[in-house]
A and B are shown apart, each in its own frame.
Chain A
Amino acid sequence: MCSSPSKAFIDDTNNIYFRVRDLRILIDTIPLTILNKSSRIIYENVTSLTLISNKSFNEQRFLIYLYSIINQNNVRYLIIQLDDCSKNFLLNLIEKFSKVYSLIISTYHSWSKLIELSSQISKSNLRSLNVYEIFIDFNQYDSIHQLFNQLEIISVVVTSIEDCYRLLTILFIGNQKKTVEKLRSLTIKCDFDEPDAIANWIRANILRKLSYKCTTSVLTIWL
């Protein structure tokens, strides 16, 4: 029998993962014994971090472990694919990974959590947001505006053409003279039966100069 395999998480060999830029962590496969061990920074140069879990997990314990193994200063892209996570878990990630430019998120009630965090997110470096969950709550206008106002790239999923119009109204027609100013690219995914109707609506209602393309599944707008 030969020597044991080295461990991917705590390895005695110095800095063997310095070339890793794109790190994906399958959280629910990591046993507690690993999470409880203190470590040194193993992943120095990661720019893209993906967190995946199909089950609930101890968020606090995982965050302590995550911050101990990864250099937070280089992370620019954060991808969250979690069955569920708390609002505080998201907030902690956004605050600790302060240089994150792009967030792609798929989790339970992600929109409501993001909107509740709109004040903190608006102070972050986040400029690109892609949310897989359907956007349905248009009521909290100020918070939604605060969330969207600093973003340059947005990808949203809606369920109906009416909700598409509501979203476009929030973004480009505004309320009390507030519209988003920094947006450069907007993608709205929906099952559109009549793409031409959307094109007509945009031409009739939005004064702002923009380019757009609409298919039966997606509306893309460039500004």
Chain B
Amino acid sequence: MFVLNRIIEDYESFYYDIGRLVDYIPSVQYLTVHIYTDLQNISKYSSIKSSYSINSNIRSLQISTTNNIPFNQIENFFRNSFHRLEILKFFFKTDASSQSCLDYINDKRWEFLLQSFLSLQNFSCCIELPIHSEIISNSFEQNQFFLKRNWRFSTQIYTYSFNTILRIHTIPYPKRRLDIMYVISFFLSFFFALIYLFVF
């Protein structure tokens, strides 16, 4: 088991670190990564080569991040690097509202990504981000790909620091830490959904 806990300057160095790690310890099978990135570097390094590839034997991977790494980079990185993955845990939490972070709660994107891991047996995630509507979140619970594998999801909406935060996670709740806060009622969520429909 290996835990990589380093503040990285950009995604390129992150991929480089993982690549070096796998080169030095090719037999590593269990990897836990905490990504803390300087947000100012996101636009600078937004075009990571899709061909960037790490051929690893990692069977179990846990990634935690609080930075809004563009989801397409997550997709490319996973697809090209972890062909033998059996267990994937993915934790993402942000207070920064942005359109791009909504990609993280797109069930179809996750479906296509997870389909590429032919050996994947166990998937758990917890994603927390500011939202304006709960519409997208519930699509996970109805997605046939997840239903067939009995990967079930729970969603909560709470208010924190003037933000409306969506928490979506697999069941059981996969993290050791939990913050419990005021959960917005169904009617208020419905109100947000109506606003979303009319505005967008």
Contacts and interface: CB of A to CB of B under 8 A. Distances in A.
Given A2-B134, A5-B155, A20 B173 contact: yes
Contact of A23 (B155, B156, B178, B189): B178
Interface stretch (A26-34, A125-133, A178-186, A207-215): A26-34
Contact of B177 (A2, A6, A22, A30): A22
A141 interface: no
A15 B159 contact: no
Contacts of A23: 177-178, 180
B142 interface: yes
A19 B177 CA distance: 9
A16 B137 contact: no
A44 to B, nearest CB: 11
A16 B172 contact: yes
A17 B172 CA distance: 6
Contacts of B8: none
Contacts of A15: 172
Contacts of B186: 4-5
A interface: dominant SS? loop
B180 A5 contact: no
B171 A16 contact: yes
A21 interface: yes
B173 A16 contact: yes
A51 to B, nearest CB: 11
Q: Interface size bucket, B side?
A: 20 to 34
Interface in B124-140: 134-135, 137-139
A15 to B, nearest CB: 7
A7 interface: yes
A21 B156 contact: no
B171 A13 contact: yes
B182 interface: yes
A144 B11 CA distance: 53
Interface in B5-25: none
Nearest to A15: B172
Interface string B159-184: 11000000100011111111111111
Interface string A27-48: 0011100100000000100000
Contact of B175 (A9, A13, A19): A19
A6 B173 contact: no
Considering residues A19, A21, A31, which has the most beta carbons from chain B within 10 angstroms of its beta carbon?
Answer: A19
B74 to A, nearest CB: 23
Q: Which 10 A-B residue pairings sit nearest by Cβ, starting from the closest?
A: A2-B138, A4-B186, A29-B182, A22-B177, A16-B172, A5-B155, A21-B176, A29-B181, A8-B156, A20-B178
Given A20-B177, A34-B183, 17 more contacts: A5-B138, A5-B155, A5-B184, A6-B154, A6-B156, A7-B156, A8-B167, A8-B183, A13-B154, A13-B171, A16-B173, A17-B172, A17-B178, A18-B172, A25-B180, A26-B181, A29-B159
